[in-house]
Amino acid sequence: MARRSNKEVNEILLHLGEKVEAAAKKALQAGADAVVADAKSRCPVLTGALRDSIHKQVTSKGLKIKIVADATTPDGIAYGKIVEFSPAINKPFLYPALDAARDSIRQNVAAAVKEGLKK
């Protein structure tokens, strides 16, 4: 078996890391899309503005995704957090959507990373 140079090994590892990172990002994006869709289906609707404001924010080069509901009243008050956390309203929609998807997202990311390592 021929020995590889350090440069060749580094190039292989770099390429492998890029493939694994791309696979993980793709799985995270799909998981975030599922959470957004579920949160929208759970969201209480009066005007639809809150539901329509639910979206993902991708940060850290795609390795961190936040799901937000950033609707505001005409006078600028953000009320997504109020609906989510107020005991008086008691209509959480973001956390239940994330809780429902958490295990499948973890499994899908792990499977994507394993698949990325195989190629």
* pLDDT higher than threshold 80 for residue 13: no
- Asked which of 58-62, 103-107, 115-119 is least confident by mean pLDDT, the reply is 115-119
Helix, strand, or coil (residue 66): strand
How many CB atoms within 10 Å of residue 108? 19
Q: What distance in Å separates the CA atoms of residue 44 and residue 58, rounded to the nearest whole number?
A: 25
- Asked which of 39-48, 63-72, 108-117 is least confident by mean pLDDT, the reply is 108-117
Mean pLDDT of 21-30: 90
Contacts of 84 (CB under 8 A, 6+ apart): 69, 91, 92, 93, 94, 95
Q: What distance in Å separates the CA atoms of residue 78 and residue 55, rounded to the nearest whole number?
A: 15
Q: What distance in Å separates the CA atoms of residue 53 and residue 76, rounded to the nearest whole number?
A: 14
Q: What is the pLDDT of residue 59?
A: 86
Asked if 38 contacts 97 with a C-beta cutoff of 8 angstroms, the reply is yes
Mean pLDDT of 50-65: 90
Residue with tokens 């993980």: 24
Q: How distant, in Å, are the alpha carbons of 5, 63, 65, 69 from that of 59?
A: 36, 7, 6, 16
